[in-house]
Amino acid sequence: MSLLLQTPRARLARLGRRLTGSTASPLDGRTVLVTGASSGIGEATAYACARRGAHLVLVARRADELERVRARIVADGGTASAHVVDLTDGEAVDALVADVLAAHGAVDYLVNNAGRSIRRSLELSYDRVHDFERTMAVNFLGPVRLTMGLLPAMRAQRFGHVLNVVTWGNQVKAPKFAAYIASKSALDVFGRILGREAWFDNVTCTNMRLALVATDMIGPTEAYAGLPAETPEHCAERVVRALEDRPITVNGVLGSATELLNLAAPRLSDRIFAELARRVPDSAAARGETGRTRTER
């Protein structure tokens, strides 16, 4: 279950579609750029947007997988273009922006989905500042550079929406996820400020704070074994609804409840999470025993 904090414009738009009986999606005929589109949430989101008539601009690092997604969209009657880009490469991001703007004039919807996850305690990270640098590069600096490149055209056409795939960890402040949650929290704050500065240009932003989704990203984390996780396909349908309705934030019930506990009883919350952290140790991957320490989507 999710809680959508909608802008008045979003509520009016949905109400208008219901009153007129319109079955057309606001995505129909629009250009939607999705990062991390070669698998997981990004792949499922690309298919869901294509079914609603959007033209997809697919961005990811893996050329073969990206082409597979593009080919499937085209085979199903949709339109899509693929761009192999590493978001940590600033020059590559700038080139992507130039190519996309030349081809489409503007991107109507941007889904900042590509991300890097890592679960490792601070105790094991004293000599691993690069964990924070690399995670920030993928989860914050890359999306910000891409957004800033596309934002002027959105504002000039007086329409645009940015959806940041972030995490419920922004509310929970879960131990052992300092690098990951800090980077996603930075993107969350950036998105809120973007929405305020671009308000009068009809450019909005949604921060979608997801819980567990069954993708390769959660694979190395033994603590997740057996826990319920949302499918990428179900998550993608929620992403599409957020693109259509343009809420400010999409929260989960558990994340919101934990956020209230953190605010109402911070010391008690610290004690609870300290005990949980002690009972659920670092994974073998985090200890460097498997050679697999993180995943990206």
Q: Which domain holds residue 188?
A: 2-296
Q: Give kind and range of the element (H or E) at residue 251.
A: strand 247-252
What is the distance between the alpha carbons of residues 11 and 235, in angstroms, rounded to a whole number?
Answer: 21
- For residue range 50-65, what is the model confidence (pLDDT) as tens digits? 999 999 999 999 999 9
- Are the beta carbons of 48 and 34 closer than 8 angstroms? no
Enter the tokens of residue 87: 């978001």
* 110 or 1, greater pLDDT: 110
pLDDT of 218 > 60? The answer is: no
> Is 180 an annotated catalytic residue?
yes
State the chain's maximal CA–CA distance in angstroms: 60
- For residue range 236-282, what is the model confidence (pLDDT) as tens digits? 999 999 999 999 999 989 899 999 999 999 999 999 999 999 999 88
121 φ, ψ (degrees, to nearest 5): -65, 155
Domain count, the chain: 1
CATH code, 160: 3.40.50.720
List of long-range contacts for 265-270, beta carbons under 8 Å, 24+ apart: none
Q: Where are the alpha helices (DSSP H) in 52-197?
A: 63-75, 90-104, 129-136, 142-157, 169-172, 178-197
Q: Which of 47, 109, 126, 180 is catalytic?
A: 180
Ranking 17-21, 23-27, 125-129, 287-291 by mean pLDDT, the lowest is 17-21
- Relative to beta strand 247-252, strand 109-112 is unpaired
Nearest to 29 by CA among 79, 83, 77: 79
Global confidence as pTM: 0.88
Amino acid at 78: G
